[in-house]
Amino acid sequence: MQLLKNHTTPDSAYVVDDYPYGFRLRCKIRYWLEFKAGKGFRFVSQTTNPKRAGEHWNKPKASTYCRFGGAMFLDDNGHVQWAGLTEYSTAAEARKFLDTYGDAIPEQAAGLTRKWVAAKTAYEANRNKDDALHVGVTEGVKAFAEEQ
């Protein structure tokens, strides 16, 4: 696995020059991670249209948002993939996400990801399985505020 960094706009996107377009045609495809405050991260891809003269880009295709983290990487086959961190992740999943993809999280939102992992870890550490949901919230909020 190879982490892909700093691909956050169509201009700085990761471009694959030889991508299938239908059954016989080939095109370019570009990938990037979009971050929007209040919504989170989403993976976006966009292909060129080989049926038109020049380099005409088709409409971008975007995934759903993952609120607290996102990272792109190349899998073992050299294909672009992405992983996201949502509010539904457990503390263990959040920690594993940060450990695995932390270097590829876009800079403008890396702090949010670290804060969420700290808050989720503190929240789960201060509650038992059958506790009400509010148990551990105070500790989670404190960890979120203190994380740099």
Structural domain containing residue 31: 2-146
CA 87, CA 93: separation in Å to the nearest integer?
Answer: 11
β-partners of residue 3 are 73
What are the phi and psi torsion angles at 8 (to 5°)?
Answer: -120, 0
> What is the number of domains present in the chain?
1
pTM (2 d.p.): 0.85
How do residues 81-113 score in pLDDT, each as one tens digit? 999 999 899 999 999 999 999 899 988 888 889
Cβ atoms of 80 and 72 within 8 Å: the answer is: yes
Q: Is the pLDDT reported for residue 131 higher than 80?
A: no
According to the model, what pLDDT value does residue 145 have?
A: 80
Q: Is the pLDDT reported for residue 49 higher than 80?
A: yes
Q: Is the pLDDT reported for residue 141 higher than 80?
A: no
Q: Is the pLDDT reported for residue 37 higher than 90?
A: no
